[in-house]
């Protein structure tokens, strides 16, 4: 939940031991990482799906998002070894974000085709198409919002990833990063300013 550190101390100890042992290509450690991290990945996917991409819930569930994320995360782990639990889940959040952005892009293409079919009189009336049901405007806004995250300056991106995706309190971010509380707050505000600049109001964004 917001305000609670997503990286719990008890299971993080075991995860860190696995991460310390992990080398790219080590399938046994990778499988154990997945087993121990699955619940957190599900929570993270559910949060991002529910808050940013609720329009996708009709065609996708948390398990399908986590499965696709793990495929991409597993491929990334062939090339890199995150040094800490925090880095592992930042990488996971990055992959979940890209899975959801790809799903949103596919749904937007489908919506455009359906809308074109409706306007040209070629749609099947039995398909039950409703141009308002998918709320394409909010989907487009949230898609743009999350697509901007990788382009943030490093300090702002790190603070945003930890606070928004991993739900780590700003005071804990300051402790983990060595930044002052004021710096963390400033990076968070700057990140939000950059992410929302020039786009319409982002429904559901809690700052």
Give the global pTM: 0.68
- What stretch(es) of the chain map to CATH 1.20.140.160? 148-207
Average pLDDT score over residue span 150-160 = 93
Q: What six digits make up the tokens of 207?
A: 């700052």
Q: What count of Cα atoms within 13 Å lies in the side-chain half-sphere of residue 151?
A: 8
Instruction: Say if residues 135 and 108 touch (Cβ distance below 8 Å).
Output: no
Query: What is the pLDDT confidence band of residue 5, given thresholds at 50, 70 and 90?
Result: very low
Query: Which position has the higher pLDDT, 136 or 98?
Result: 98
Summarised one tens digit per residue, pLDDT across range 193-204 is: 999 888 755 555
Task: Specify the CATH architecture of the domain 148-207.
Answer: Up-down Bundle (1.20)
Percent of the chain at pLDDT exceeding 70 = 76
Listed in sequence order, the DSSP H helices in the chain are 9-21, 27-52, 62-76, 85-119, 136-147, 154-160, 170-177, 181-196
């Amino acid at each position: 939940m917001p305000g609670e550190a997503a990286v719990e101390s008890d299971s993080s100890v075991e995860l860190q031991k696995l991460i310390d042992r992990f080398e790219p290509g080590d399938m046994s450690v990778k499988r154990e990482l997945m087993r121990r991290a699955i619940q957190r990945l599900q929570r993270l996917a559910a949060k991002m799906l529910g808050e940013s991409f609720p329009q996708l819930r009709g065609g996708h569930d948390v398990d399908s998002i986590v499965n696709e994320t793990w495929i991409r995360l597993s491929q990334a782990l062939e090339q890199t070894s995150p040094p800490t639990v925090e880095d592992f889940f930042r990488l996971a959040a990055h992959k979940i974000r890209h899975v959801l952005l790809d799903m949103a892009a596919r749904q937007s293409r489908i919506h455009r085709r359906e809308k074109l079919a409706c306007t040209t009189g070629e749609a099947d009336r039995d398909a039950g198409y409703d141009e308002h049901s998918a709320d394409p405007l909010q989907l487009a806004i949230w898609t743009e919002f999350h697509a901007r995250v990788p382009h943030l300056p490093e300090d702002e991106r790190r603070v945003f990833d930890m606070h928004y995706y991993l739900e780590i309190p700003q005071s804990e971010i300051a402790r983990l990063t060595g930044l002052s509380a004021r710096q963390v707050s400033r990076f968070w505000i700057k990140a939000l300013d950059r992410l929302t600049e020039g786009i319409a109001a982002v429904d559901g964004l809690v700052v």
